[in-house]
């Protein structure tokens, strides 16, 4: 079943991350079947043992998104078409002051890159959000930090945020 939605999301670089060793995590491998200059993209994702095809359009804070769960067989059939446009990461689900944070630690060619993403129900909620002290530079509107761009080339992290001051709780 397809899930149609508008994604309202902000993204930050992270250097000094919270302790995540005992937290819930998901291994993510994703590749891009198509990426357009206008911000449209078609993505394949394996999240642990679930498989998805996602179409996104737009850029920045607010994007359109349609996600469909697909079978392992469908994923394997399409995966070779993503060659040269792939990334791997481990995602941790964290909570901070009632807000869900998706904390990604990239692997392989993007090793060392850490990013926090927060999704919101409205643009107003997104714009009024005050991030924790351990968040670094915001890159929401920076196209070089879109996953489709990261999947196509290697990036280096250059931010030096302050260490965490708040205690985080695992997302339920």
The fraction of the chain above a pLDDT of 90, given in percent, is: 71
Reported residue count of the chain is 172
Looking at residue 21, its pLDDT comes to 64
CATH at 152? 2.40.320.10
Phi then psi for 117, rounded to 5 degrees? -125, 140
Assessment of whether the complete model's pTM goes beyond 0.95: no
Range 13-39 average pLDDT: 87
The pLDDT of residue 37 is above 80: yes
Helix (H) or strand (E) holding 105: strand 99-106
Looking at residue 70, its pLDDT comes to 98
Range 101-107 average pLDDT: 95
Query: CA-to-CA distance for 63 and 80, rounded, in angstroms?
Result: 27
Looking at residue 158, its pLDDT comes to 44
The pLDDT of residue 164 is above 70: no
Residue-averaged pLDDT of the chain: 87
List the one residue out of 119, 129, 3 whose CA is nearest residue 56: 3
pLDDT tens, 40-94? 999 999 999 999 999 999 888 999 999 999 999 999 999 999 999 999 999 999 9
Looking at residue 39, its pLDDT comes to 82
State the total domains in the chain: 1
Q: How far is CA 171 from CA 94, 98, 130, 167, in A?
A: 5, 9, 19, 13
The residue range of the domain holding 53 is 2-170
């Amino acid at each position: 079943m397809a899930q149609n939605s508008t994604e309202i999301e902000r993204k930050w670089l992270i250097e000094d991350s919270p302790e995540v060793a005992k937290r819930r995590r998901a291994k993510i491998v994703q590749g891009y079947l198509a990426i357009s200059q206008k911000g449209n993209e078609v993505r394949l994702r394996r999240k642990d043992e679930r498989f998805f095809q996602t179409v996104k359009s737009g850029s920045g804070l607010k994007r359109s998104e349609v996600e469909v769960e697909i079978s392992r067989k469908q994923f394997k059939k399409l995966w070779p078409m993503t060659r040269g446009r792939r990334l791997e990461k481990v995602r941790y689900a964290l909570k901070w002051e009632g807000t869900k944070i998706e904390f990604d630690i990239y692997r392989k060619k993007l090793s060392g890159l850490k990013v926090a993403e927060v999704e919101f129900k409205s643009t107003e909620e997104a714009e009024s959000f005050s991030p924790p002290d351990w968040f670094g530079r915001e890159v929401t509107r920076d196209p070089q930090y879109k996953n489709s761009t990261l999947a196509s080339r290697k990036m280096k992290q250059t931010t030096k945020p302050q260490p965490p001051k708040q205690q985080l709780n695992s997302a339920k």
